[in-house]
Amino acid sequence: MSALEDALKVKELVKKHTEWFRDSLPMIASENLISPMAMELLISDLHNRYAEGLPGKRYYQGNIYVDQIEEITTELAKKLFNVEYADVRPISGTNANQAVLFALTKPGDIITGPPLQGGAHISSAPFGAVGMRGLHKIEYPFDVEEMNIDVDLTAKLIKIVKPKLALFGMSVFLFPAPLKELQDAFQETGTTVWYDGAHVLGLIAGGEFQDPLREGAHVMSGSTHKTLPGPQRGLIVANPPGDEEKRAKFWKKIQRGVFPGVISNHHLHHMAALAVSLAEHIEFGKQYAQQIVKNAKALAQELYELGFKVLGEKNGFTKSHTILVDVVAQGGGRRVAEDLEKANIICNYNLLPYDDPKKPRNPSGIRLGVQELTRLGMKESEMKEVANFIKRVAMDKEDPTKVKEDVKEFKKEFNKIHYCFNEGAEAYKFFENLF
């Protein structure tokens, strides 16, 4: 096969992938659809250019307009999250996490955080960014019934180990972290509190989750493509404690953690798309966040009534976009996720709090997210139909290829993007025009 044939093959595979997702129910909790206006900026000349440093202090020429774009993007982030400081240069959520770690820790420091099987992100694991920074991580005790950190035991833990940095934030984020309840422990130990809001950033900005920076967190990182429906990118925002000089010193550490700490150029086309996405969330974020939570609760309740073991029952299953389901009775997380994929229902298998973290390939659960379905206009009534599709595959053991045809027919009515400046635009028309 020639090089040209390889290139054309890749183009054809991208087309097939796009058509597949057009006809599917995308329910990966860490994904979303970018708006058409933001998408246009991803293929602009900004893609070809470079910028290092901060506006007005670049190490390259050619950034006259880039500086203005970055300043606008930064101000939009400050406005959306009501913060004093924002850095929009990280190129992913994990990259933002790395920057925080470089800024606020040194090898050998103690950091506390949630356990991996309790929903923590892999960047906080010993084999992730935390471990590679040379930090010693001590895990919070986890309360399975509450599906959250055990407040009393965690307070005692923090007072005993006196961590340099206390991390809150997860990849399975069903309920708000108990920041207010742990304030006394933070104050007593002088611990810096870091909140990884990657999954719930859009819910926070929309006023539908918690407000970490007003509940005790000093800095918040996150990715901008989950419940905040923007380009795949990251950001860091902060309201540091102390007087003006201390706040400025804290923020300078963060900025140096970003550059030259973990990035060089910061992907300018994505930054421009982020500006549009932040502006759209200022305009539509509250309405969008409210519907996400309504849909998640509706889907969780329907799955529960159909006989699934949905975690978090004591507290209403979820207060975010995410649902966690124990499917051991249906064959286990991996088998169920793979069968659902054959039916064009795209989710992922996931560790549950009582699973062995050393066996992530064979967990008990699946993780479902509703943020993309919500973006496409689905509401509570559609969640009942989605739950029934899942039941047909996972519980009734119906042929997934048969369910797939019904999913494709159902999805035809939901391929327009909502909660954006191009309200009602065809979600995949942009891609179809490219091909």
Is 72 among the domain residues?
yes
- Rounded to the nearest 10°, the torsion over CA 268, 274, 276, 281 is -170
Is 11 among the domain residues?
no
Q: Are residues 252 and 307 in the same domain?
A: no
Is 293 among the domain residues?
yes
- Amino acid identity of residue 319, one-letter, is K
DSSP string, 129-153: HHHHTT-EEEEPPEETTTTEE-HHH
Which residue segment(s) compose the domain that 384 sits in?
Answer: 284-434
Is 308 among the domain residues?
yes
DSSP β-ladder status, 165-168 and 192-196: parallel
Whose tokens are 């900025």? That residue is: 255
pLDDT in tens for each of the 435 residues of the chain? Answer: 899 999 999 999 999 999 999 999 999 999 999 999 999 999 999 999 999 999 999 999 999 999 999 999 999 999 999 999 999 999 999 999 999 999 999 999 999 999 888 778 888 788 888 888 999 999 999 999 999 999 999 999 999 999 999 999 888 999 999 999 999 999 999 999 999 999 999 999 999 999 999 999 999 999 999 999 999 999 999 999 899 999 999 999 999 999 999 999 999 999 999 999 999 999 999 999 999 999 999 999 999 999 999 999 999 999 999 999 999 999 999 999 999 999 999 999 999 999 988 888 889 999 999 999 999 999 999 999 999 999 999 999 999 999 999 999 999 999 999 999 988 888 877 666 766
d(CA 258, CA 266): 10
Is 318 among the domain residues?
yes
Is 18 among the domain residues?
no
Burial of 371 (0-12, 13-18, 19+ CB in 10 A): buried
Last residue of a domain, one of 224, 242, 277: 277
- 185-194 residues labelled b (16+ CB within 10 A) or e (exposed): bbeebebbbb
d(CA 373, CA 407): 13
Q: Are residues 215 and 113 in the same domain?
A: yes
Q: Are residues 251 and 307 in the same domain?
A: no
**Total tally of structural domains belonging to the chain:** 2
d(CA 203, CA 200): 5
CATH number of 388's domain? 3.90.1150.10
Q: Are residues 297 and 395 in the same domain?
A: yes
- Using DSSP's 3-state secondary structure scheme, residue 197 falls into coil
Q: Are residues 155 and 174 in the same domain?
A: yes
Decide: 166 and 196 in contact? Cβ < 8 Å. Answer: no
Q: Are residues 400 and 308 in the same domain?
A: yes
Is 7 among the domain residues?
no
Q: Are residues 242 and 359 in the same domain?
A: no
Q: Are residues 79 and 178 in the same domain?
A: yes
